[in-house]
Each structure stands twice: as structure tokens, then as C-alpha cells.
Amino acid sequence: MTPPDRIPAGWLEEAPAQGAFAGGLPRVDELAQRWSEADTETMLAGMIHDEFPGQIALVSSFGAEAAVLLHMVAGIEPRLPIIFLDTGKLFGETLRYRDRLVADLGLSNVRSIKPDAARLDALDPDGVLWFGNPDMCCHIRKVEPLARALTGFDAWITGRKGFHGGERDGLQRIERNHDDDRIKINPLALWQRADIDAYFDRHALPRHPLEAEGFLSIGCMPRPDRVAPGEHPRAGRWRGSEKTECGSHLTPNRKWNMGGMDGI
């Protein structure tokens, strides 16, 4: 456990003070080279304490595989800011799983971020935007709130893994976020499903209650489907459509269908 004198006081505040983001972050290739030989937990600790002290957050869905990173963070720095996007469409099981992990792991700085009420009133007053325009629904319920929540941070940690396929195929452990130039850390990018399962077993971590029902990538209530044997874990997300991402991680060459609402 990190000694208290190395814990930046700003981590216990609602948002960090103005950081180094505006004035010269290390380049992605420099970070990647410096930490290329480090194992997952060593690299994660280095990002939190050495590269971005007080200016990095973990963004977690508290989904089927989220407990792995949350457990690592609890052992490195339990007061690290953890951003949880409460879209208003989540399963009750996810909210209860979040509360259990927070209590079990001793996480003390989880921030539940909700969509802007005015945006919902204007663009999704009936709560069914997900059916006609899922891209816009994700944008106002996840992408916009995440952008606000990351204000003041220089870097953020994700739980993405390359074996999930699609946009995540070939994922690197360290990259630059295409929207705002922040550094994005993907500690589990090179992990396989067997690595995830072994970590859960080794540390006796509780599973998301919906995983036993066949939901391997959970997200919001309207969209996920059970995953059949042999399918990749995210196959049940937006079943029957070309959509594979909520938008927080889309690359610049991917054009969303905003249904004429771009820029609204």
C-alpha cells in the first residue's frame, strides 16, 4: 500500500486542480518504451504514482470484467478517482454490483456521473432514443458526461481488451485519446479471457450477477443480448446492428449516424 505522504490531496476533491495537460505531456511512444517491459500492475502503479500523480482517473463500467482493474487499483491507490457513468438505463444488478465492489475493495473516490437533465429533456424526453438513434443516445448519456467528468485530468485508465475484437483488435497499452489528446492507459489490452478468469479465481472476486445468465458485456438495459458459446464477449452488444462501441473510444475515421443532430 502506498504511504499517505505520496497521495496527492487533490484526489479527495470533487475535481483535480488545473494540471499539466495544457503544457506538454510525455509522448505516447516515450511512455510505451519506458514501460514496455513492466507487468500490468507495475505499469498501472507507475502511471498513477509516477507519470500522472493526482491527474489520472479510472473509468469503470462495473461490468462483467471490471473487478480485475478495480481490485488492482484498490491495492495501488484506493483513493484514485473512479468515474462511473450512470446513464439512467443501467441494470439494477450493475448498480448493486458497483456498491458491493466499492465496499469490498475499500474504494473511497467513486464518482457516479449522470447525463445532463436538460439534454435528456430536449433530445430524449420519452426515454426511447436508444431505439431510433442509439448513437445519439450513447452520445448524450455517456460521451458528453464522460467529457465533463474528465475535465482537469491528463490521463485516464480503461478496462478495454484486444481480445474483445472489433474496434479493440490490436489495442495498445498506451495511446493518445483522439478527441482531446489525453493519454489513455489500457492496462489489460494484451490480456486474454483465460487471464481474466484466472485473476477472478486467484483473488476470489465476485462476478457480476448477470454473467451467469450469459451476459458477458452488459452496458445499458435496452441493448445487450446473451452471448452464445464461441462468440466474442461483446457480440451481444447492439445485436443485429453495425454498432459496436458507445462512442467514448471510437477512432476518428468512424462516422456516427447522429440522425441529423450533429452538433446539437
d(CA 176, CA 182): 6
C-alpha cell read off for 43: 505499469
Which of the residues 137, 138, 220, 246 is marked catalytic? 246
Respond yes or no: is residue 246 known to be catalytic. Answer: yes
Region class of 140: left (phi > 0), else alpha (psi between -120 and 50), else beta: alpha
Write the pLDDT tens digit of every residue in 69-105.
999 999 999 999 999 999 999 999 999 999 999 999 9
Domain segments of the chain as ranges: 27-213
d(CA 173, CA 38): 11
pTM for this model (two decimals): 0.78
Architecture of domain 27-213 in this structure: 3-Layer(aba) Sandwich (3.40)
Write the pLDDT tens digit of every residue in 95-148.
999 999 999 999 999 999 999 999 999 999 999 998 888 889 889 999 999 999
